[in-house]
Homo-oligomer: A and B are copies of this chain.
Amino acid sequence: MKEPQSRAGAGRRRVASPEEAAFLDLLRTADRLSRGLAGVLKAESLSPTQYNVLRILRGAPEGLSCGEIGDRMITRDPDITRLLDRLEKRRLISRAREARDRRTVLTRITPAGLALLARLDEPVRQAHRRQLGHLGPARLRALARLLRAARGENG
The distance from the CB of A110 to the nearest CB of chain B, in whole angstroms, is 15
A132 touches B22 (CB 8 A): yes
For residue A97, CB closer than 8 A to chain B, the reply is: no
A74 neighbours in B (Cβ, 8 Å): 1-2, 31, 35
A61 close to B11 (CB less than 8 A):
yes
A27 at the interface (CB under 8 A from B): yes
Q: Is the CB of A10 within 8 A of B141?
A: no
**0/1 interface trace, chain A 1-35, chain B, CB 8 Å (1 if under):** 11111010111111001111111011111111111
Q: Is the interface of A mostly helix, strand, loop or mixed?
A: helix
Interface on A for B, CB 8 Å cutoff?
Answer: 1-5, 7, 9-14, 17-23, 25-35, 37, 48-49, 52, 55-62, 72-74, 118, 121, 124-125, 128-129, 131-135, 137, 139-144, 146-152
Which one of A135, A139, A146, A151 has the greatest number of beta carbons of chain B within 10 Å?
Answer: A146
A-B contact pairs, 24 of them (CB 8 A): A1-B49, A1-B73, A2-B72, A4-B52, A4-B59, A4-B72, A5-B55, A9-B60, A10-B62, A13-B58, A17-B129, A18-B137, A19-B140, A20-B128, A21-B141, A22-B132, A22-B135, A22-B147, A26-B30, A26-B147, A27-B30, A31-B74, A132-B150, A135-B146
